[in-house]
Amino acid sequence: MKSLFARWLPAATLATWSAVLLYFHFSMRMNAMLAPEFRVYALIAAIVLGVMALSFVAFKGDATCCSSGECGHGLSRRTAGKLLTFFILLAPIVVAARFDPKDGFSKSFVENRGTATSLDQLGSAAPRPADGKADYRKPVGLSLPSKDGNQSATSSQPAAAEESKTADYLVRKPDGTIVAEVLDLLYAAQDNLLRKDFEGKSVELIGQFMPDSSNNASGNRFKAVRMFMTCCAADARPVATLAEAEKLPAFPEMTWVRITGTATFPVEKGRRISVLKVEKIEKAEPPAEAMIY
């Protein structure tokens, strides 16, 4: 019994954690749980835990403390208490191993977290531009209609120079359709210059279908939802652009769809938003990276 508690149960616990983390890594399930920059640390942790498990097996330890009445509290001195301790250590990783996030998060998760349809709703969690894309991602002010109906220019940047920079970052299909992400349209709603590259243009994006209940007076709007992650699944937040069709598509909620339509940026309730006027919508496979980072 001393050998069981001093050597084999610790080794089994560490080996289980190591095996599950390695499985998450090589099956790509880790992609839905951690942002890319943190995944290497999870892999290192899995390797270290595996080495520690092997060390318990290879090197016989001193079981005196683990069997002594002077070691630990009352629960730890009983066989049932020791088994319960190891169960508690194993339970979280076993439960996590059975959770499969490949199809995305559930409808209830999205509803409970609340869907951000503009960058200001993300607050301090709003994504920051990567190096080399600062001119493309940096908001340069919100352009709202003035009293005479003209657009008020809020950017002091030279328009021609900035337009050439933003256009370089757009990915287009052979027919000229812009391949975008949900966040691209949210940025465009706040960036005067970026908006010029999208507004009135044909745009294709992939998201999860969710009917809209807050900006849907005509009943034909829905949300194209993606999950934005800063660090890990615990801070994942749904973000969405609105889409407007002649008739609301008959897809189950949270179905992955590919939408092609015309990008528009109307001002509603004093706030400029992105609305994709749907020309075509079809079911789609989840993207390789279901999260947006």
Q: What is the pLDDT along the chain (293 residues), one digit of tens a residue?
A: 455 555 677 788 888 888 888 988 888 878 777 888 888 999 999 999 899 888 877 776 555 555 544 554 444 455 665 677 677 777 777 776 666 555 556 677 777 677 887 787 776 555 544 433 434 333 333 333 334 444 444 343 444 444 444 455 688 999 999 999 999 999 999 888 889 999 999 999 999 999 887 767 677 899 999 988 888 877 788 899 999 999 888 899 999 999 999 999 999 888 899 999 999 999 999 888 878 87
Q: How many domains does the chain have?
A: 2
Residues 272, 160 share a domain: yes
- Domain end call among 99, 129, 162: 99
Q: Are 88 and 243 in contact (CB under 8 A)?
A: no
> By residue range, what is the domain housing residue 186?
107-292
pLDDT value for 155: 40
pTM to 2 decimals? 0.66
- Domain end call among 59, 83, 99: 99
Q: Are 224 and 243 in contact (CB under 8 A)?
A: yes
Of the chain, the end-to-end C-alpha distance in Å amounts to 49
Q: What is the number of other CB atoms lying within 10 angstroms of the CB of residue 283?
A: 12
Residues 232, 186 share a domain: yes
Residues 12, 143 share a domain: no
Residue 64, both tokens = 């005196």
pLDDT value for 179: 94
Residues 89, 111 share a domain: no
What's the DSSP call for residue 243? E
pLDDT value for 214: 75
Is residue 96 helix, strand or coil? helix
- Domain end call among 69, 99, 129: 99
Q: Where are the alpha helices (DSSP H) in 191-263?
A: 192-198
Distance of CA 241 to the CA centre of its chain: 15
Q: What is the number of other CB atoms lying within 10 angstroms of the CB of residue 210?
A: 20
Residue 33, both tokens = 């749980």
Residues 78, 22 share a domain: yes
Helix (H) or strand (E) holding 196: helix 192-198
pLDDT value for 156: 39
Q: What is the number of other CB atoms lying within 10 angstroms of the CB of residue 275?
A: 21
Which one, of 183, 274, 185, lies nearest residue 230 by Cα? Answer: 183
